[in-house]
C-alpha cells in the first residue's frame, strides 16, 4: 500500500483586509474604509464621493451582487462623521462592502469633498475552500 498523500496544500498566512485611507482636501474629514471580507477580492472594491449642493448624505451600492463599491452622496456641509453614521443606518448590502472608521488624527467634523471612485488595496491571501468529497 502506498503512503497517504496530502491534498490540503501548505499553510499560509491568514488573509488580510483591503483598505482605503482617504486623503481629502481639508481637515478632520478623512475616513479609513476597510473591506468586510479578507483577501484579494477586497482590492477591487471602490469608494466614491459625489458632493454638491445641500443634498442629505446617502450611501448606495455599486454594481450587482456581489457589489463592487459604494457611492456616497451628500451636500457640501456633509461631515466625515455623518458619512460614518449614514453607513451604520444603511442596508445590509451597503454593509457587505466596506466598513468606515474616522481616520486617526481626525475628529470627523470636517466636510468631505468629492472623490473619484478609488479602489481599496492591500488585501492579501484567499479564504480556504470548503472541503469536498473526492471519494466515489
pLDDT single digits (tens) 34-79: 999 999 999 999 999 999 999 999 999 999 888 999 999 999 999 9
With respect to residue 110, please indicate whether it lies within any of the assigned structural domains: yes
With respect to residue 125, please indicate whether it lies within any of the assigned structural domains: no
* Angle at the Cα of 80 from the Cα atoms of 77 and 67, rounded to 5 degrees: 110
If you ran DSSP here, which 8-state letter would residue 130 be given?
Answer: P
The predicted structure's pLDDT at residue 130: 53
What mean pLDDT is predicted for residues 16-42? Answer: 96
With respect to residue 115, please indicate whether it lies within any of the assigned structural domains: yes
With respect to residue 128, please indicate whether it lies within any of the assigned structural domains: no
CA atoms within 13 A on the CB side of 7: 7
Number of domains in the chain: 1
With respect to residue 126, please indicate whether it lies within any of the assigned structural domains: no
Domain around 91: 19-119
With respect to residue 136, please indicate whether it lies within any of the assigned structural domains: no
The predicted structure's pLDDT at residue 6: 47
With respect to residue 133, please indicate whether it lies within any of the assigned structural domains: no
Residue 122 falls in which region: left (phi positive, over 0), alpha (psi -120 to 50) or beta: left
pTM: 0.84
With respect to residue 130, please indicate whether it lies within any of the assigned structural domains: no
Question: What whole-number distance in Å separates Cα of residue 43 and Cα of residue 119?
Answer: 6
The C-alpha cell at 132 is 469536498
Amino acid at each position: 500500500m502506498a503512503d497517504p498523500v496530502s491534498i490540503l496544500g501548505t499553510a499560509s498566512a491568514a488573509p488580510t483586509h483591503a483598505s482605503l485611507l482617504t486623503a481629502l482636501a481639508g481637515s478632520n474629514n478623512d475616513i479609513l474604509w476597510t473591506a468586510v471580507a479578507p483577501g484579494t477580492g477586497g482590492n477591487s472594491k471602490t469608494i466614491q464621493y459625489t458632493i454638491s449642493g445641500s443634498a442629505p448624505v446617502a450611501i448606495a451600492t455599486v454594481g450587482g451582487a456581489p457589489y463592487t463599491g459604494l457611492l456616497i452622496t451628500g451636500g457640501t456641509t456633509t461631515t466625515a462623521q455623518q458619512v460614518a453614521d449614514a453607513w451604520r443606518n444603511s442596508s445590509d448590502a451597503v454593509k457587505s462592502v466596506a466598513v468606515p472608521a474616522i481616520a486617526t488624527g481626525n475628529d470627523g467634523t470636517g466636510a468631505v469633498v468629492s472623490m473619484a471612485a478609488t479602489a481599496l488595496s492591500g488585501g492579501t491571501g484567499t479564504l480556504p475552500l470548503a472541503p469536498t468529497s473526492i471519494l466515489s
